[in-house]
Amino acid sequence: MSYNIAVLSGDHIGPEVMAEARKVLDAVAVSEGFTLNYTEALIGGAAIDATDGPLPDETLKLCKESDAVFLGSVGGPEWDHLSPEQRPEVGGLLAARKALELYANLRPFKLYPELVANCPLNFRGAEPNVDILTVRELTGGIYFGEPKSLTEEEGSDTMVYRKPEVERILKVGFDAASHRSRRVCSVDKSNVLRSSMLWRGIAKDMGERHPEIELTHMYVDNVAMQLILNPGQFDVIVTGNLFGDILSGESDLSGGGENRRHFGNG
């Protein structure tokens, strides 16, 4: 078996990390008996410097024709003077996610016994059991909602979620939970945000259709606190783009490692 991998090393530390990560992939390929064919392409600041655009057409074409995309970090202060649409993060990373329909970001966090002593959290003598999967919606919400505007006096973004977007990401979370501890925590801010009111209603409907899964709802600010106080209470967390970005980063404190995986229709 052979797989074609698009390698987008990105900017700054990206190529250095990617070189080491490829060694890991190569070792797995040897161990499991398959081969990997790598093709390098530009994205982000490196693409801007070489082609004047953060996501060249040939890069996107390569991604669509490959079996998987291996992506490094993008961005840096030297490109911050550009318009938002031309910056590496928005014009490169976010645009690639949207074009490839990578709507689900799976971010697992597990605290290994060997790393408990190095964890900054105080478990008060209890045996920690931290094994969390955060399912972050990746192609909707405030990062992509229109209209947007930026002037010297005002900046605005729009948070929009539509029913099909919410349903498909919740389905990913429920499916994942069915292979774990069968618990889903749907995270929102439905006491004030209309988009979250829609989210919670759809989550409740899905929970009724899947009685084998224990569904709970929690406000995002409470989850931020609970991840520090008692991270072991969570199994699968499903949430929107912005909330998932922040919460999964916070979970690094309670987990011993992270591995990100994106998937969707692309």
Q: Give the number of other Cβ atoms within 10 Å of residue 249's Cβ.
A: 12
- Contact between 73 and 237 under an 8 Å Cβ cutoff? The reply is no
**229 and 259 within one domain:** yes
Task: Report the alpha-carbon distance of residue 109 to residue 227 in Å, rounded.
Answer: 11
Q: Provide the domain count of the chain.
A: 2
Residue 149's domain comprises 102-266
- Is residue 41 within 8 Å of residue 100, measured between CB atoms? no
Residues 94 and 106 in one domain: no
> Do 111 and 192 sit in the same domain of this protein?
yes
Residues 4 and 114 in one domain: no
pLDDT surpasses 70 at 13: yes
Q: Is the pLDDT of residue 181 over 60?
A: yes
The per-residue pLDDT for 255 is 47
Same domain, 128 and 245: yes
| Same-domain pairing of 114 and 231 | yes
Q: What is the pLDDT of residue 258?
A: 42
What local confidence, expressed as pLDDT, does residue 121 receive? 73
Same-domain check for residues 146 and 19: no
185 backbone dihedrals φ, ψ, rounded to 5°? -110, 115
Residues 6 or more apart in contact with residue 6 via CB below 8 angstroms: 39, 41, 59, 62, 63, 66, 68, 69, 70
Q: Between β-strands 35-40 and 131-137, what pairing exists: parallel, antiparallel or unpaired?
A: unpaired
Phi, psi of 78 (to 5 degrees): -70, -10
CA distances from 227 to 135, 240, 258 (A): 15, 17, 15
User: Helix/strand/coil (H, E, C) string of the chain?
Assistant: CEEEEEEECCCCCHHHHHHHHHHHHHHHHHHHCCEEEEEECCCCHHHHHHHCCCCCHHHHHHHHHCCEEEECCCCCHHHCCCCHHHCHHHHHHHHHHHHCCCCEEEEEEECCHHHHHHCCCCCCCCCCCCEEEEEEECCCHHHCCCCCEECCCCEECCCCCCHHHHHHHHHHHHHHHCCCCCEEEEEECCCCCHHHHHHHHHHHHHHHHCCCCEEEEEEHHHHHHHHHHCHHHCCEEEECHHHHHHHHHHHHHCCCCECCEEECCC
Which of 48, 67, 100 is the last residue before a domain boundary?
A: 100
For residues 118 and 8, state if they share a domain: no
What are 28's two structure tokens? 């797995």
Instruction: For residue 116, name the pLDDT band (cuts at 50, 70, 90).
Output: confident
Greatest distance between any 2 Cα atoms in the chain:
58
Claim to verify: residue 24 and residue 106 sit in the same structural domain = no
Q: Which pLDDT score, from 0 to 100, does residue 244 have? A: 97
Is pLDDT at 260 greater than 80 in this prediction? Answer: no
Does residue 119 share a domain with residue 221? yes
- Which of 81, 90, 85, 66 lies closest to 8 in space, CA to CA? 66
Mean pLDDT of 5-28: 97
Query: How many CA atoms does the CB half-sphere of 246 hold within 13 Å?
Result: 13
Instruction: Give the CATH number for residue 264.
Output: 3.40.718.10
Q: Which of 100, 132, 162 is the last residue of a domain?
A: 100
- Whether residue 109 is found in the same domain as residue 89: no
Asked whether residue 106 falls in the same domain as residue 235, the answer is yes
Q: Is the pLDDT of residue 26 over 80?
A: yes
Tell me which of 100, 123, 146 is where a domain ends.
100
pLDDT digits (tens, 9 = 90+) for 124-152: 655 568 899 999 999 999 999 999 999 99
The predicted model gives 104-124 an average pLDDT of 82
pLDDT at 69: 96
